[in-house]
Amino acid sequence: MKISKLLLGFFALAIFLVGCAADDTATVIIENPNGGNPTNPTEPTDLEIGGTLTEDLTLETGTDYNLTSALIVPEGITFTINPGVIISATSGADVYVAVLQGGKIMAEGTSTSPIVFTSNSTTPNAGDWGGLILLGKAPINSVSGGDATSTSEIGGLPYGGSMVDDNSGIIKYVRIEYSGGAADASSENNGFSFYGVGNGTTIEYIQAFEGKDDGIEFFGGTVNASFISVVGSQDDSIDWTEGFTGTLTNVYVEHRQSHDKGIEGDGFNTDIGNNADPIFWSAPIINNITINGNGSSNENEAIRLRAGTRALFNNVLLSGFAEGFDLDSDGADSPTGQGVLDGETGVTDISFDDVILNLKNDTGEEFGEAEFFTGIGNGTGADYSTWNVGWTRN
């Protein structure tokens, strides 16, 4: 009968139409590079740490620790790390240490026995693991103020508030290596991520070494930091946004093969706007900074200021960049140039070594090098060699 033939034809067609999409995919066989058997893991030798702490934890000198998952320090809990402790992290962007609002980290190394966070891989690479995240209750300008909070790029953790002198603890002589794994293009770990951290917190002698993303990033907050070393960060070495107003003193930045800016400063988070009432911008003070680039022939910028940020620099040494400072205004809501005209942004004492263009003014406001720089040739930088001995890595 006609109709059944037609139906048969239809089913034959169905088989044909499934069949005609190509599949010449080769089989992949996975060999365990370590020779171990994944179903029968070798016994861990290090002490494993991770998870959300329910009581205070102290890492003792002389013990090696393996960070296997996110270690969360919640409100009321103190996480103490004694000098010389090495914490090696299992790979993954979701392996990090986060000190929540109200939690404390007491990581006090010494110049001869620094505390080191690193990758546990035998062939470590930038981005192997997350990094160190501090979340405080100091002001940020992405929310309207009071106790309102925002959430962090990694981990979705709350930060921000109105406690200018909030205290998240002490970080001293701490080095972070091979961190910066990203969850996606907008959720990136850094070496040190300071979210709304208050100036009751002590941060001295910290190094971010070979990180995949930014070395140190400030999301608002008032914290001051000194003796900062960032070596081989693949994205921006120092990054600030969301109304950061702390002071950074003695900063050394060294670019390796892959990198973005030395400093990328934003006045506010451009994804959500400057929602502070009254409005304020990021306005840090940076004293004694050296940024070493890869030479002016490698097209790049040392310092990018944008989205309305203010910043006062004292004693700057820039070497090996196509551009020294690049200032951008992205529109009426981000008046970066206005800060220069108002004297809230500028540089006192600066030296350029192998820099083609000292200042690129894309703000739309009228000012030049003469208005922006005072004391060209007087900059000496961070004097890194006087404070890097023993605890930093090169």
Partner 1 sequence: MREFLIGLLLLFTVPLMAQETGSITGTVTDKSLNNEVLPFANILIEGTTKGVSTDFDGLYELNDIEAGTYRVIFSFLGLETQIVQVEVKPGQTTKLNVALDATSGVELEEVVLTSSTKKESEAALLLDQKSANIVKESIGAQELSFKGISDAAAAVNKIAGISKQEDGGNVYVRGLGDRYLNTTYNGLPVPSNNIEKKNIDLNLFSSDVIQNVSVSKTHAANFYGDFAAGNVDITAKEHTGAFFLAIDLGTTVNTNALDTDFVKSEGTGFFGFYNRYRNNPYAVLLSHGVDAIRSDGNTGVSGSFASGKSWNIGNASRLSIFATASFGNSFEYREGPAVDYTTVEKKRFPNSEEYQYGRNTTAMANIVYRINEKHKIIYNSLFINDATDQASYFGTKGLGTNRDAILDTDRGFYQSNIQFNQDMIFVNQLLGSSTLSEKLKLDWGVGYNNVLARQPDRKRISVERYDLELDDDESTNGSFFSNIAYDNQRYFQNIEDSELNARLNLSYNISEKLDLNFGYNGRTKQRTFENIRYGYDFIEPNTPVGDVRNLNEVFTAQNLGTVFNTVVFNGLDPQNGLGNVNLPGQFENTYEGNLDVHAFYVDAVYSLNDKFSVLPGLRVEKFNQDINYDVINLPATDPGQREASEFFFLPSLNLKYALNEDQNLRFSFSSTVSNPEFKEVAPFVYEDVTQRIGGNPELLSDPAFSRIFNVDFKYEWFIKPSELLSVAAYAKAINDPVNLVVANDATGTQRFFRTGDQAQVLGLEIEVRKALITDEDEQSILSTGINATYTYTKQDLKGSDGIFSTTFDRDSDQLQGASPLLLNADLSYRPIFGKYKPVGNLVFSYFSDRIDALGSGQLGNIIEKGVPTLDFIWKNNINEKIELNASFKNLLNPQIERVREVESGDVALSSYKRGLNIGFQFKYKF
* Interactions with partner 1, residue window 146-175 (CB under 8 A): 148-158
Among 88, 101, 118, 142, binds partner 1 (CB under 8 A): 142
What's the min distance (Å) between Cβ of 26 and partner 1?
Answer: 5
At 2, phi and psi to the nearest 5?
-55, -50
Please tell me the distance from the alpha carbon of residue 152 to that of residue 135, in angstroms, as a whole number: 8
Judged by CB under 8 A, the chain residues 177 through 206 that form the site for partner 1 are 182-188, 195
Please tell me the distance from the alpha carbon of residue 150 to that of residue 148, in angstroms, as a whole number: 7
Residue 245, C-beta contacts closer than 8 angstroms, at least 6 positions apart: 139, 221, 222, 280, 282, 283, 284
- Comparing CB distances to partner 1, the nearer of 111 and 275 is 275
- Comparing CB distances to partner 1, the nearer of 38 and 62 is 38
Judged by CB under 8 A, the chain residues 234 through 273 that form the site for partner 1 are 234-235, 241-242, 257-260, 268-273
H/E stretch holding 11 reads: helix 2-19
Residue 296, C-beta contacts closer than 8 angstroms, at least 6 positions apart: 320, 321, 322, 354, 355, 356
Judged by CB under 8 A, the chain residues 347 through 376 that form the site for partner 1 are none
- Comparing CB distances to partner 1, the nearer of 268 and 387 is 268
Please tell me the distance from the alpha carbon of residue 142 to that of residue 179, in angstroms, as a whole number: 26
H/E stretch holding 37 reads: none
Three-class DSSP category at 66: strand
Please tell me the distance from the alpha carbon of residue 136 to that of residue 248, in angstroms, as a whole number: 18
- Comparing CB distances to partner 1, the nearer of 133 and 382 is 133
The token pair at 91 is 């790979």
Among 103, 114, 127, 221, binds partner 1 (CB under 8 A): 127
- Contact status: 332 vs partner 1 (CB under 8 A): yes
Judged by CB under 8 A, the chain residues 87 through 126 that form the site for partner 1 are 90-94, 98, 121, 125
- Comparing CB distances to partner 1, the nearer of 37 and 394 is 37
- Comparing CB distances to partner 1, the nearer of 90 and 110 is 90
- Comparing CB distances to partner 1, the nearer of 87 and 93 is 93
- Contact status: 22 vs partner 1 (CB under 8 A): yes
What's the min distance (Å) between Cβ of 39 and partner 1?
Answer: 9
Query: 144 vs 87, 164, 243, 308, 388, CA distance in Å?
Result: 38, 15, 12, 18, 40
Of the candidate spans 15-23, 161-169, 244-252, 285-293, the one that interacts with partner 1 by CB under 8 A turns out to be 15-23
- Contact status: 389 vs partner 1 (CB under 8 A): no
Picking from 135, 162, 173, 132, the residue whose alpha carbon sits closest to that of residue 151 is: 135
Q: How many residues touch partner 1 (CB under 8 A)? A: 95
What's the min distance (Å) between Cβ of 44 and partner 1?
Answer: 7
Of the candidate spans 57-65, 145-153, 310-318, 365-373, the one that interacts with partner 1 by CB under 8 A turns out to be 145-153
The token pair at 20 is 């005609």
What's the min distance (Å) between Cβ of 135 and partner 1?
Answer: 10
Picking from 288, 349, 294, 290, the residue whose alpha carbon sits closest to that of residue 317 is: 290
What number of residues does the chain have?
394
- Comparing CB distances to partner 1, the nearer of 173 and 178 is 178
Three-class DSSP category at 302: strand
- Contact status: 377 vs partner 1 (CB under 8 A): no
Judged by CB under 8 A, the chain residues 28 through 57 that form the site for partner 1 are 28, 30, 32-38, 41-42, 44, 51-52
Of the candidate spans 143-151, 166-174, 201-209, 365-373, the one that interacts with partner 1 by CB under 8 A turns out to be 143-151
Among 5, 25, 370, 386, binds partner 1 (CB under 8 A): 25
Please tell me the distance from the alpha carbon of residue 264 to that of residue 364, in angstroms, as a whole number: 19
